[in-house]
Structure 1
Amino acid sequence: MHMMRAHYPAGFRVQPARHADHRVATVLAGTLYVGFGERFEENRLVAVPKGATWTIPARQPYYLWAKEGAVLLQVMGND
């Protein structure tokens, strides 16, 4: 099992990525916009506010955007 924290400055984008393991992510500060799919599509983003948790299924492409301000994110997974 592993855990990481990431700080994304305002405007930072994570282009579509995927991982071999299932992950659980929690927004610790700010609002993060999350989408799933092979391409970054702004119209498919969902706002995930501070305190919210969501799952990233294994091998599922996803993308992120700190659209409105800085975001602190915590992610746990199992390699």
Structure 2
Amino acid sequence: LMPHTHPEDRIYTVMSGVFYIGFGSVFDPDKLVAYGPGSVVVLPANTPHFHWARSGEYVSQVYGTGPLGLEYIDRRDDPRHASK
């Protein structure tokens, strides 16, 4: 996922594979940090970040208290706004 934010705090627990997350408003693969199974990542609300399944499939459990949301930093990255 390209850089985006969530209005709620989130907690990611990596169940399997490797979860890569980077922080900032611009996608930069050099800023990705790898988290393996059992890792927990706490993400405060409105923190710009991005994900990449860099080494293949991963499964993560995401916890947040709603209302939930996702807002891309660059609206052009949002597939919900793609022309049909």
* Structure 2 unaligned blocks of 5 or more: 67-84
Q: Does residue 64 of structure 1 match 2:51? A: yes
Counterpart of 2:2, as a letter, is: Q
Q: TM-score, normalised by structure 1?
A: 0.79
Give me the whole-angstrom Cα distance separating, in 1, the residues matched to 2:62 and 2:51.
Answer: 13
Q: Which has the higher strand share?
A: 1
Q: Residue 2 of structure 2 aligns to a residue in which SS? A: strand
Q: Which has the higher helix share?
A: 2
* Paired residue total: 66
Give me the CA root mean square deviation. Answer: 0.7
Structure 1 equivalent of residue 60 of structure 2? 73
Q: TM-score, normalised by structure 2?
A: 0.75
| The structure with more radius of gyration | 2
What per-residue deviation string (whole Å, max 9, x for no partner) do you get for residues 13-51 of structure 1?
x11111111110011110011101101101111111111
Give me the whole-angstrom Cα distance separating, in 2, the residues matched to 1:74 and 1:15.
Answer: 19
